[in-house]
Each structure stands twice: as structure tokens, then as C-alpha cells.
């Protein structure tokens, strides 16, 4: 469990609608995983009260499975809440994303990583110029620890 707080003292304040934002931000993160031998299920929760009036809850489920000498990781996340920075229409926000990765160790310090994921925003984040939440990401990379 992690609690984060930012006071932004001396920082710039923004006027959104009739509210002043930029004072404080709080986040609570909770995660849990349990190795069952053949796979490791994971759960995550996050509550956030962020700058610009974003108040959200996020739930995530994922799993890690050993496959062909490496690990397959797959997960999904759902987020809902309010975004007071959106001044037109409904300020309720919804979003979800899915992703999968494969990590193959080449040595104790080096691994090849591949990932593909998709995110989709709904409600107030669906068609806004400020936040573009819909999209995908694909990458292939090499990680080396020093």
C-alpha cells in the first residue's frame, strides 16, 4: 500500500470553471499478488484526487504465466470518476485498457520485452480536445540492468 501527497506550495494555481485547482493532490495505491506456482494473479486499486479536479477510482486485474523460458503478462484496468476540468457537459469519466507483454531473459541482467495494449475513454473523456484517452501502444525493447 502506498499513500502519496503533493502540497504544491508556491506552485501555479489554475481557475477551472469557478474552482481553483493546483493546491493538493492525493493518491492511495493498493496491490496484491500471490504466486500459485503455475501462474501469479495480481490485483490493484488506486484512488486519486488530483490537480485540476480529477477524482478517480481504478481497479486492475492481471496475471503472470511462465511460457517458453520467459513470462507472459496480461492485464486489464477500469477507471471511473469525475474530471471537473471539463467545462462542457457531463464531468463523469470512464476508461478501460488491456495489455499483454512477453519478457524473455537473455541473461541474469538482460531481457527482451514485447508489449501491446489498447486504451479507451468514455463519457466526458470520449470527445474532448484536452484529454485524448483512446489509443494503442506496441513496442519491442531490450532491458539491461547495471
Cell of 12: 501555479
Of 3-7, 70-74, 104-108, the one with minimum mean pLDDT is 3-7
Higher-pLDDT residue of 4 and 8 is: 4
Average pLDDT, the chain: 84
pLDDT in tens, 83-139: 777 666 677 888 899 999 999 999 999 999 999 999 988 765 665 565 567 789 999
Q: Give the CA radius of gyration of the chain.
A: 19
Q: Rounded to whole angstroms, how far apart are CA atoms 30 and 54? A: 19
- E-strand spans in 36-134? 40-50, 54-67, 70-83, 92-105, 110-123
β-strand partners of 47: 28, 57
- Confidence (pLDDT) at 53: 73
Q: What pLDDT is recorded for position 135?
A: 84
pLDDT at 88: 66
Residues 6 or more apart in contact with residue 24 via CB below 8 angstroms: 5, 6, 7, 8, 49
Question: What pLDDT band is residue 26 in, cutting at 50, 70 and 90?
Answer: confident
Share in percent of the chain as helix, strand, coil (round to 5): 0, 65, 30
Amino acid at each position: 500500500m502506498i499513500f502519496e501527497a503533493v502540497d504544491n506550495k508556491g506552485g501555479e494555481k489554475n481557475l477551472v470553471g469557478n474552482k481553483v485547482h493546483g493546491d493538493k493532490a492525493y493518491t492511495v495505491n493498493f496491490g496484491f499478488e500471490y504466486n500459485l506456482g503455475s501462474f501469479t494473479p495480481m490485483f490493484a486499486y488506486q484512488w486519486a484526487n488530483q490537480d485540476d479536479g480529477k477524482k478517480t477510482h481504478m481497479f486492475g486485474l492481471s496475471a503472470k504465466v511462465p511460457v517458453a523460458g520467459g513470462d507472459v503478462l496480461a492485464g486489464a484496468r477500469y477507471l471511473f470518476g469525475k474530471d471537473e476540468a471539463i467545462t462542457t457537459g457531463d464531468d463523469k469519466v470512464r476508461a478501460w485498457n488491456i495489455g499483454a507483454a512477453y519478457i524473455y531473459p537473455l541473461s541474469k541482467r538482460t531481457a527482451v520485452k514485447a508489449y501491446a495494449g489498447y486504451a479507451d475513454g468514455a463519457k466526458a473523456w470520449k470527445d474532448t480536445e484536452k484529454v485524448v484517452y483512446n489509443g494503442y501502444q506496441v513496442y519491442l525493447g531490450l532491458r539491461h540492468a547495471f
